[in-house]
Amino acid sequence: MSTDGSREPVGVIGTGYVGLVTAAGFAALGSEVYCVDIDEDKIRGLEEGRIPIWEPGLEELIAVHRERLHFSTDLAPALAHARVLFVAVGTPPTYSGDADLSAVHAVVDAMPASDRHALVMKSTVPVGTGESIERALAQQDKGFAYVSCPEFLKEGSAVQDFLEPDRVVIGEDGGWAGDAVEALYAPLGAPIVRTDVKSAEMVKLASNAFLATKISFINEIANVCEETGADVVEVARGMGLDDRIGPKFLQAGIGFGGSCFPKDVAALKQLAGNSGYHFQLLNSVIEVNELQKRRVIAKLQKHLGSLVGKEIALLGLAFKANTDDMREASSLVLSARLQGAGARVRAYDPVAEAEARKLISGVAFASSAAEAVAGADAIVLVTEWPEFRELDLAEVAAAMRGSLLVDGRNFLDPGAARAAGLVYEAIGRPSQSPSPVSAG
Ligand code: UDX
């Protein structure tokens, strides 16, 4: 890895989670990085060392390479110093499920004419976006090169994912820019996939849709396990050792959330539909995921009967551990459904409370797991935060009014929970309720 300053400088447009991790990563590889964002508060904060997102290792990486990171609301410094400009602006879903590309188009429109620069698309966009941007750039005589270089960063391990990618995908239709992007990533030693723009765009959507499908698949297996007495954790272990299947993304739970999977699955489905193809499988992936979030309610009702007036404690709110991101978190649906059923909901999350407060209403926030569970009729473990494994379950059982623990992530040890006096329910694992089936 070169740190002698001789590496290609880069611009990064958009300082959200993808943009900041990308910027910090290239700074760590030795590039001068010119970050641009239209949000003045965010840029001021970054200049003062305030990182707007909670991502393990990011603050430290930015601090270490601070002298190579430059922040501005103005495009000029990036254009003056860098010929490769990564675009990492938001592409949120619209009502129809299509991606909203207005921020991407705003970036394209803001570019001056130049045959020296390249736009490198990191934002997730529908297949065909690159082609239409290239057309717009040509029509406006802007002369920019265009590269699709999708990001595969996972929240919570984004820094590591940048530095140790499984692959780097570079889509371009000829010219100098693909080689320049490949040279930027070369020190990481990852397999590089050079391809055309449309295929690169599709690699991103298809990868996320496939992983989401894997999760909905194992969640359906879990639901069948509940009917048949099999244990989905054992089933996933047995399946995952098959090299063709692999062990990852086979954890049954309360459904996937986050900023990517729900959006990208909807976008791919919509993209297919817009071109006249009905992507049946993705409809099911989405539907299974929606139902999965709600199955917890039935588990609670099975033990508690009516939920009216019941005190339910949610442990964790973020869409997964190691992030404060609440986008599409299953806890949003769960807390709303619980309140709809008449329950009183209290919640504790070690880092996501501030984000959760913006999106959830009617929930009492606790400042510790112990405070959340005290006097509760039931607990639902929503997010697999490591600290929940450290809980003294006997103390938890003693502090509760009831004794039901629904483990929405199959995260805790069923034997230990039951030994502590809790009624333990999980996802796709043998249930504790008195079995109506007699052996014979
Ligand atoms: C995802 C992709 O993994 C990443 O490559 C992409 O660029 C951005 O989207 P992220 O959203 O950060 O990353 O989270 P990820 O770790 O992939 O988990 C997504 C959701 O699936 C979470 O809600 C998680 O809890 C859930 N999940 C994951 C499961 O329910 N079971 C699993 O086995 C794995």
Give distance in angstroms: CA of 256 to centre of ligand 1. 7
In tens digits, the chain (440 residues) has pLDDT values of: 444 457 999 999 999 999 999 999 999 999 999 999 999 999 999 999 999 998 999 999 999 999 999 999 999 999 999 999 999 999 988 888 788 999 999 999 999 999 999 999 999 999 999 999 999 999 989 999 999 999 999 999 999 999 999 999 999 988 899 999 999 999 999 999 999 999 999 999 999 999 999 999 999 999 999 999 999 999 999 999 999 999 999 999 999 999 899 999 999 999 999 999 999 999 999 999 999 999 999 999 999 999 999 999 999 999 999 999 999 999 999 999 999 999 999 999 999 999 999 999 999 999 999 999 999 999 999 999 999 999 999 999 999 999 999 999 999 999 999 999 999 999 999 986 544 433 33
Question: Which pTM does this prediction carry?
Answer: 0.93
pLDDT at 436: 43
Do 335 and 314 meet the contact criterion of CB atoms below 8 Å apart?
Answer: yes
Contacts of 340 (CB under 8 A, 6+ apart): none
**Taking CA 256 as the corner, what is the angle to CA 255 and CA 260, rounded to the nearest 5 degrees?**
160
**Cα distance between residue 285 and residue 210, in whole Å:** 10
CB atoms inside a 10 Å sphere around CB 431: 16
pLDDT at 1: 40
Do 60 and 22 meet the contact criterion of CB atoms below 8 Å apart?
Answer: no
Give distance in angstroms: CA of 154 to centre of ligand 1. 7
pLDDT at 98: 83
For atom 25 of ligand 1, which residue has the closest CA?
Answer: 320
- Residues within a 6 A CB radius of ligand 1: 151-155, 208, 211, 215, 249-251, 253, 256-261, 319-320
Task: Please give the number of the atom of ligand 1 that sits closest to the Cα of 320.
Answer: 25
Task: Label residue 258 left, alpha or beta by phi (over 0 means left) and psi (-120 to 50 means alpha).
Answer: left
**Cα distance between residue 217 and residue 213, in whole Å:** 6
Task: Please give the number of the atom of ligand 1 that sits closest to the Cα of 153.
Answer: 7
pLDDT at 219: 98
Please say if 260 is a catalytic residue.
Answer: yes
Which of 208, 249, 256 has most ligand 1 atoms within 8 Å of CB, for mutation?
256
For atom 2 of ligand 1, which residue has the closest CA?
Answer: 154
Do 195 and 168 meet the contact criterion of CB atoms below 8 Å apart?
Answer: no
The neighbouring-strand residues paired with 424 are 405
